[in-house]
Structure 1
């Protein structure tokens, strides 16, 4: 049985070996408040898993949910503003 191999070197860049572009880093920076708000929500929910949630736990979860929604709203408004100004979202 013969092995089949390419005779030419790879022309395209391997996606694993490249650094993020400036646009990708900007997109990550733009989404970071939403990610951090989601982490806070998960933390509040994990704390409430070990026991019956008390009033403080419920308030903490509600506040974290509101932060997630606010971060999503801000991200959506930023994307809409960028499109209206003629930029790419």
Structure 2
């Protein structure tokens, strides 16, 4: 029986073992309003899974969807402003 283990130690660290960079953390912070709005929408949708949707539930879902769309719009406007202002520099 042959041993098939690695003959050399790993020289570089695995990408899954590293901490997020400052740029990655900034990107997450920039997207946090969208993430929060999507979680709130998911919470509202989960609440309505086991019962018929009432008028109040429908309003909650509409409001949560509008919050998601507004957060996505703000994020896209912010990133578009950053990318267009960086072109002339």
Q: TM-score if structure 2 supplies the norm length? A: 0.85
- Correspondence 1:77 to 2:77: yes
- Partner of 2:36 in structure 1? 36
- Partner of 1:17 in structure 2? 17
Instruction: Give unpaired runs (5+ residues) of structure 2.
Output: none
Q: TM-score if structure 1 supplies the norm length? A: 0.85
The Cα RMSD (Å) is: 1.6
Greater mean alpha carbon deviation, residues 10-19 or residues 60-69: 10-19
Distance 2:36 2:62 in 1: 15
1:26-62 Cα shifts (integer Å, max 9, x gaps): 0000111111100110111111111111111000000
**Count of residues in correspondence between the two structures:** 86
Change (3 A) 1:21 1:51: same
The offset of 1:6, in angstroms, is 4.1
Distance 2:43 2:3 in 1: 55
Q: Give the 5 Å matches for 1:56-67.
A: 56-67=56-67
